[in-house]
Amino acid sequence: MIRIRHADETPHEAHEINVTPFIDVMLVLLVIFMVTAPLTTVNVPVDLPSSTEKPAPRPDNPVFLTVKADHGLTVGEDDITAETMASVLEAATKGNKDERIFLRADKTVDYGTLMAVMDKLRAAGYLKVALVNLQGQEEGSEP
């Protein structure tokens, strides 16, 4: 028997990717990650001890470098610029690069500005920097 093939009898191949199994796998992975993500965070409750030590005594003539709210700089009571900071500190510390510089900054000064001042201090050779805060006051209370 001779079989005659017609053009419309050829089986059509599916040229599409069946994405249903991929979606199922992705949903299972999503559920797994949603369940395990909170377990991977480290949340160790620690009751830190408080210190009864008094703050270290200040030197007789401390050098205060202040960053004001308008990002202006002062050494002691004298306004300075960022360019003259190294020479003014050199005069204030009498050339002693090991003297501690007490850095004060207004609450409104952003972190980037404070770090830029600290970088200038490091470039000038002053590596001992103490950050000054108000002692004995809680956050948010008025002085």
Residue 143 has pLDDT above 60, yes or no: no
pLDDT per residue as tens digits for the range 19-51: 888 899 999 999 998 888 777 665 555 455 555
Domains of the chain, CATH where assigned: 63-131 (3.30.420.270)
Q: pLDDT at position 28, please?
A: 94
DSSP string, the chain: ---PPPGGGSPPPP-S---HHHHHHHHHHHHHHHHHHHHHS------PPP--PPPPPPPSS-EEEEE-TTS-EEETTEEE-TTTHHHHHHHHTTT-TTSPEEEEE-TTS-HHHHHHHHHHHHHHT---EEE---TT--TT---
pLDDT per residue as tens digits for the range 45-80: 545 555 566 766 777 788 889 898 898 998 888 889
Q: pLDDT at position 8, please?
A: 59
pTM, two decimals, is 0.56
